[in-house]
Structure 1
Amino acid sequence: MCYDVNAQLDAQLKRAKRDGDEHAIQEIKKKLARETDLPLFHVSGFEHPKMLIYTNESPSYPIVSQWGLVPGWAHDKKDIWNKTLNARGETLFLKNSFKSSAKRKRCIIQVNGFYEHHHFGKERIPFYVSKKDGEPLSLAGLWNEWTDPETGEILNTFTIVTTEGNPMMAEIHNNPKLQGPRMPLILPEELEDQWLENYEEELAQAAIENLIKSYPETEMQAHSVGKLRGKNALGNVEEASELFEYEGVTSEY
């Protein structure tokens, strides 16, 4: 699963910077970034933060979107968007909440890293997961524009796609209540454009399913951090992703 992330503006702008359009970068920093909740050193999806995403309709220039996808058929966002923070890659084209977006509205969310909990006895130990080279993670997602039938408000929302966890994530994400370890679908840079490609509808499912694979553990690292939940939670502060060791627990991978 992926319910907690670290997202800084520089990481969220990595894809926009590929084109080298400095005017566009400055415009995003001065105008668009103000509409987000950045910086997010630690945020839970249940807070529905506003972040930047790159869509198949705007692959180089980000838009502001809230975490928790609201499908077009929903009558009330509150009834659905806590349940759509993640979308299982194996069932994207089967679930009513996601299948329309899977075909036509895919996106990328660039973050510095994400947090996952390890079950150790009665304790839940949080870990921070990132790339070894320090580069942002490009998470595969789905998005949708939803119009509130009562107010007419247009809300842009997204979900993060998940897949089977790699061996490192199997060590960390060992929740006994879940069927197997999970992790967000991380796209290598060379496959980002394929995720955002506007495929003919009859070709979309096969093309997208071919991209749903676990990211190699050899390119990832993880370490335990301070509590993310409860009265001792550090909150949205830079120290949230710093190493914190727990007795008897492997602290670094």
Structure 2
Amino acid sequence: MSSWLFCLSLLSRRTFTGNIRFLIMCYDIKTKVEAALKRARHYGNQEAVQMLIEQFRPFLEEELFHVSGFQHPKLLIYTSENYKLPVVASWGLIPYWVKNEQQQLDIWNKTINARGESIFEKPSFRTSAKSKRCLVYIDGFFEHHHFAGKTYPFYIQRVDGEPIVLGGLWDEWTNKDTGEVVNSFTIVTTKANNLMQKIHNNPKLKEARMPLILSEEDADRWLNESADVAKKIIVPAPEGLLKAHTVRRLRGKNAVGNSPEAVEEFIYPELKFSA
């Protein structure tokens, strides 16, 4: 597999370790260039793939194993405007109607994820839900499990090792102060399947959630079909698609940070958990 490509040069290299008041779902993810370019390869556009590899070559040399949505990294996403080739976008959706940088900062951390059941009604998401849906290819994501008053991080990936295709929304915002045009996106979430219900058991939440994971067929439909079709696609991932294992601490003073250890299995003897 190729070296990691998760972000561009503006991404902060520090793992988020501050106290967060809520963790809805899928704030920490892992990806690589092969995952991001899989769709381009699927359509057989080898010339374009090679062009992208050359364009991002400086970032292939640094491996990135763990990054938080609160860092607002720049990722590659696929949109309906050019569904064969990815574009760069910041994680955390900035609606086109945001007036200034202060409003952008106020909304940014609130739009890392979008609850699938309400994206067609919420002001921050409804325009994008109707006409600006996107795909994000990742290797896996992290979620925390609560047990005996403590939290334990899990790394979730596909059983077959293939990239996970996430359904998202994107938008284009123009900073009126600088003239800069910013592409940004959010990851859509849905109700958890059985595996994720067991892992994502935060007692402060009303229900367990998981990112919207799409099959290749549904990925095309998510991009190109009507809102009515998109609504029917927002369902939990099928059972048996994913596997999970515990990993070392991702937050706090003992966090492993951006290292291979972030995704390696780590056993907590005191934890009682059965998938």
Q: Please, what TM-score do these two structures have when normalized by structure 2?
A: 0.86
Question: Is 1:181 equivalent to 2:208 in the alignment?
Answer: yes
In structure 2, what is the Cα distance between the partners aligned to 1:4 and 1:148? 27
How far apart are 1:251 and its partner, in Å? 6.2
Letter in 2 for 1:5: I
Name the SS of the counterpart of 1:5 in structure 2: strand
Structure 1 segments of 4 or more deviating over 6 A? 35-38
- 1:145 maps to 172
- Hey, what does 1:120 align to over in structure 2? 147
Query: Distance in 2 between the 1:38 and 1:92 partners?
Result: 35
CA distance in 1, matches of 2:61, 2:27: 16
1:121 shift after superposition:
2.0
Pair 1:108–1:34, CA change in 2 (3 A)? farther
- Write the distance in 1 (CA, Å) between the matches of 2:58 and 2:68: 20
Q: Within 2, Cα distance between the matches of 1:158 and 1:219?
A: 25
- Partners in 2 of 1:39 and 1:98 — Cα distance? 32
- Of 44, 62, 70 in structure 2, the residue corresponding to residue 46 of structure 1 is 70
- Tell me the C-alpha RMSD between the 2 structures: 1.7
2:247 aligns to what? 225
TM-score by length of 1: 0.93
Taking the aligned partners of 2:235 and 2:61, their CA distance within structure 1 comes to 30
Mapped to 2, the partners of 1:165 and 1:33 lie a distance apart of 37
* 2:33 is aligned with 1:9: yes
- 1:28 maps to which residue? 52
Q: Which runs of 5+ in 1 are unaligned?
A: none
Residue 236 (str. 1) matches residue 263 (str. 2): no
Distance 1:190 1:33, change over 3 A: farther
2:231 paired residue among 209, 215, 220? 209
In the other structure, the counterpart of 1:106 is 133
Superposed displacement of residue 219, structure 1 = 1.3
Residue identity in the other structure for 2:242: M
Gaps of 5+ in 2: 1-24
Aligned partner of 2:268 in structure 1 is: 246
Choose which of 112, 132, 135 in structure 2 pairs with 1:85. 112
Deviations 1:84-135 (Å, cap 9, x if unpaired)?
A: 0000000011100000000110100000000000011221110000000000
- How has the CA–CA distance of structure 1 residues 227 and 131 changed in structure 2, closer, same or farther, with 3 Å as cutoff? same
Contact persistence 1:222–1:252 (CA under 8 A): no
Structure 1 residue 22 displacement after superposition: 1.8
**AA of the residue aligned to 2:33:** L
Counterpart CA distance in 2 for 1:90 and 1:35 is: 36
Matches of 2:151 and 2:200, distance apart in 1:
10
CA contact (8 A) 1:42 1:237 kept: yes
**Percent of aligned pairs with the same residue?**
50
3-state SS of paired residue (2:217): helix
Distance in 1 separating the partners of 2:64 and 2:37: 14
SS in 2 for 1:61: strand
Q: What code does the residue aligned with 1:28 have? A: L
- Residue 29 of structure 1 aligns to a residue whose secondary structure is helix
Q: How many Å apart are 1:248 and its aligned residue?
A: 2.6
Contact kept, 8 Å, 1:4 with 1:44, in 2: the verdict is yes
- CA gap 1:36/1:177 in 2 versus in 1, 3 angstroms: farther
Asked if 2 retains the 8 angstrom alpha-carbon contact of 1:37 and 1:49, the reply is: no
* 1:163 equivalent among 161, 186, 190: 190
> Aligned partners of 1:86, 1:39: CA distance in 2, in Å?
25
Alignment of 1:62 onto 2:112:
no
Q: Return the offset for 1:40.
A: 3.2
C-alpha distance after superposition, 1:134-187 (max 9, x if no partner): 000000000011111211111110000000000110100000111110000000
